C-alpha cells in the first residue's frame, strides 16, 4: 500500500492534503531526550516553505533564549548563520526539561496622513538620499503624528519553543506567565508516542482558551505525496487532542486573534505559539 494511502487512512478526516503554507519559522533539535546531563543538543533554526528543509532565510541567533529546568537562563554556543539556516548548540547540564526558543512582540498597522498611507512597525529601509521622497513608515505607535487618521493597529505576539529533557521530565518551564497564548502539556513532550493520543492545554492570559486553531504538520514532506496537515481546534476546556499517524518530527502552531490588546489605539491582538515535537515509534 502506498504511503499516502496509509497516512490519510490513519489520520482520517482531520488530515488535509493542503498545499504548503509559505514561510514557516521552525526550530529543529538533534534530539529532545537525553539519558543524562553534561551533553549537548544541536539546533537548526530557519524560516522556510517546507518542513524541515531550509530554503528561505536563517533565523537570527540573537533572538533565541534558553531556560533551564529551574528557570535560570541558559545560553547558546557555537552559533553560526548561513544564508538559509542558523545552527547552535545548547549545553544541557541540569536534569529535567529545558526550553529553547523565542518570544517576540510588536505592533503592526497603518494610518492615513495627508492622503497617504503610512505603515507602523516592520523593518525600516535604508536612509533616504537628500531630496528623495520620505519613507512612509514609523517604527512604533508613539511616532504616529498627531494629525493621523484611520489608525489601524494590531498587537502581535509570538512564541516558538522546543523542549529537551535530560534524565527525567519536569514541568517548571511550562509555568504560565499569564500573558498571551501559552501551552501547558497534559502529555509531556518527552512521552509522545506515534500510536497514542496526546493532549495539550492552551491558555490565553492564564485561562483555558477555547477555539484556538492549531495546525499540525509532520516533517519530511520531501518523501510524501501529501503534506498531511491536521487542522485542529481546542475544546471548551482549552485542550487539544492530537493523533500522530507516523513517527517523526512534527511542527505544531496555534493561532488566536481577539480584541484584548493592551497597546493604546490597538483594536486587535494576534497571538501564535509554535513548537517542534519529536514523536518516536512505540
Of 16-25, 42-51, 163-172, which range is least confident? 16-25
Whether the CB-CB separation of 254 and 272 falls below 8 Å is answered with yes
Domains of the chain: 3-105+155-279 (2.60.40.1930), 106-125+134-154 (no CATH)
Which residue, 180, 239, 172, 244, is CA-closest to 206? 180
Identify the pLDDT of residue 222: 76
pLDDT digits (tens, 9 = 90+) for 210-264: 999 999 999 987 777 788 899 999 999 999 999 999 999 999 999 999 999 999 8
Grid cell of 60 as nine digits: 537570527
Q: What's the whole-model pTM score?
A: 0.85
Buried b (16+ CB within 10 A) or exposed e, 92-107: bebbbbbbbbbeeeeb
pLDDT digits (tens, 9 = 90+) for 53-85: 998 999 999 999 999 999 999 999 999 999 999
Amino acid at each position: 500500500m502506498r504511503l499516502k494511502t496509509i497516512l490519510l487512512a490513519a489520520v482520517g478526516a482531520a488530515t488535509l492534503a493542503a498545499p504548503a503554507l509559505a514561510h514557516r519559522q521552525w526550530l529543529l533539535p538533534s534530539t529532545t531526550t537525553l539519558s543524562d546531563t553534561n551533553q549537548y543538543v544541536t539546533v537548526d533554526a530557519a524560516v522556510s516553505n517546507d518542513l524541515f528543509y531550509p530554503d528561505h532565510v536563517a533565523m537570527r541567533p540573537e533572538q533565541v533564549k534558553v531556560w533551564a529546568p529551574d528557570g535560570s537562563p541558559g545560553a547558546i554556543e557555537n552559533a553560526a548563520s548561513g544564508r538559509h539556516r542558523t545552527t547552535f548548540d545548547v549545553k544541557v547540564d541540569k536534569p529535567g526539561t529545558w526550553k529553547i526558543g523565542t518570544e517576540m512582540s510588536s505592533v503592526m498597522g497603518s494610518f492615513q496622513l495627508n492622503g497617504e498611507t503610512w505603515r507602523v512597525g516592520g523593518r525600516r529601509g535604508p536612509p533616504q538620499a537628500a531630496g528623495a521622497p520620505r519613507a512612509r513608515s514609523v517604527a512604533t505607535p508613539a511616532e504616529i503624528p498627531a494629525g493621523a487618521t484611520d489608525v489601524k493597529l494590531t498587537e502581535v505576539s509570538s512564541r516558538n519553543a522546543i523542549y529537551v529533557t535530560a534524565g527525567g521530565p519536569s514541568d517548571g518551564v511550562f509555568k504560565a506567565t499569564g500573558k498571551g497564548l501559552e501551552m501547558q502539556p497534559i502529555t509531556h513532550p518527552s512521552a509522545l508516542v506515534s500510536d497514542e493520543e496526546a493532549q495539550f492545554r492552551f491558555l490565553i492570559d492564564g485561562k483555558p482558551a477555547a477555539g484556538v486553531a492549531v495546525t499540525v504538520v509532520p516533517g519530511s514532506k520531501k518523501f510524501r505525496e501529501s503534506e498531511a496537515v491536521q487542522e485542529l481546534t481546542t475544546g471548551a476546556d482549552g485542550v487539544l487532542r492530537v493523533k500522530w499517524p507516523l513517527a517523526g518530527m512534527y511542527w505544531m502552531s496555534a493561532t488566536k486573534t481577539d480584541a484584548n490588546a493592551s497597546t493604546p489605539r490597538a483594536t486587535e491582538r494576534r497571538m501564535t505559539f509554535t513548537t517542534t515535537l519529536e514523536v518516536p515509534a512505540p
